[in-house]
Amino acid sequence: MENKYVCSVDIGGTKIATAIMEYPADGGVPHPVFEAEVPTEAQEGGEAVFQRIEASIKAALEANPDVEVLGVGIGAAGVVDPKTGAIAYANEIMPGWSGVQLGPRLREDLGLPVAVVGDVQAHALGEAHWGVGKGKFSVLCLGIGTGIGGAYVENGRVMQGFHGAAGHMGHIECSAAAGIPCACGRSGHLESVASGTSIGRMYDERFGRVDPSRPSVGRDVNDLCRAGDAKATEVIHDAGFALGASLGSLANILDPEVIVLSGGVIHQGPDWRSQTWKDSVHEGYASQALDPLQDTPILIGSLEGDAPLIGAAEHLLASLK
């Protein structure tokens, strides 16, 4: 057995990360042997972003002339057409990104196998294969940051859905969010009460800003909660409980072996996850999960920034089988 190599790309709204991932022959954790990053400059439009991605991949391959990659795995912002790897839909954060024929054009231009998956789906594949989900039959992953997204991996494969839109866990009906507008244009969705942004907003609406000069963010509220402030504790409890209850509902549908949480809210530092929040997540979960699912572990993701690059590589490898 020799080392294997895959070119991985993580396309987000602010940066494009490109790496050459090495899979050690001894079966060890894949890791980048080359990494580069450029700003996405999303406001320049989809075609300009495509050109930057292609240039980044070519530069990565040229910088590693002795490495023969098996192909290019990409985790991309937006909804990715599972059949072609084109961008089926993207919101206003990336104007003109919707409709970009990402997979088909790169395949033709590079002459290499190219597999594209959603960025949250790539993150989940990373955690499921090499993070805390390693060796588990099925993994439900939720990323909690400014928004909430997720993905479900079973037997090593991520569920993409017919349109590629599977896993929009932030946009499920949530009783605590009734009547609250959601970023997606609807209302009553989990994201509106459980994301970092929402925690800050809920505190301001109920009690006024922590710092009068700016809207509160999740961290402000959590710091107060950790200091024993009753108002902040109430908001953190409500956000954690709503998340946990939704996890329970999702577990009733999917029955994952483990649930993995990651994202900005989870990884803002060791201090972020207050005991109140953790207890509230478990309390919410217990209120909804069916009896056989009450003991499903709720874990914290271990790969952080590398998860999407590793997951994109895994998606490419799966596409070659």
* Interface residues toward Zn ion, by CB under 5 A: 171, 182, 184, 186, 189
Q: Which is nearer to Zn ion, 91 or 319 (CB)?
A: 91
Q: Which is nearer to Zn ion, 182 or 258 (CB)?
A: 182
Q: Which is nearer to Zn ion, 20 or 250 (CB)?
A: 250
Shortest separation between residue 150's beta carbon and Zn ion, angstroms = 13
Shortest separation between residue 167's beta carbon and Zn ion, angstroms = 13
Q: Which is nearer to Zn ion, 59 or 180 (CB)?
A: 180
For residue 23, the cross-strand partners are 4
Shortest separation between residue 259's beta carbon and Zn ion, angstroms = 21
Q: Which is nearer to Zn ion, 65 or 185 (CB)?
A: 185
Q: Which is nearer to Zn ion, 146 or 302 (CB)?
A: 146
Counts for the chain of helices (H) and strands (E), in that order: 9, 12
For the chain, the C-alpha Rg in angstroms (whole number) is 20
> What is the number of alpha carbons within 13 Å of residue 69 lying toward its C-beta?
27
Shortest separation between residue 122's beta carbon and Zn ion, angstroms = 22
Beta carbons of 73 and 314 less than 8 angstroms apart: yes
What count of other Cβ atoms lies within 10 Å of the Cβ of residue 209?
Answer: 14
* Pairing between β-strand 4-11 and β-strand 15-23 as defined by DSSP bridges: antiparallel
Concatenate the DSSP letters of all residues of 157-202 into one string: EE---SSS-TT-GGGSB-GGGTT-B-TTS-BSBTHHHHSHHHHHHH
Shortest separation between residue 124's beta carbon and Zn ion, angstroms = 19
Shortest separation between residue 91's beta carbon and Zn ion, angstroms = 11
Give the 3-state DSSP-derived string for 206-270, with helices as H, strands as E and coil as C.
Answer: HHCCCCCCCCCCHHHHHHHHHCCCHHHHHHHHHHHHHHHHHHHHHHHHHCCCEEEEECCCCCCCC
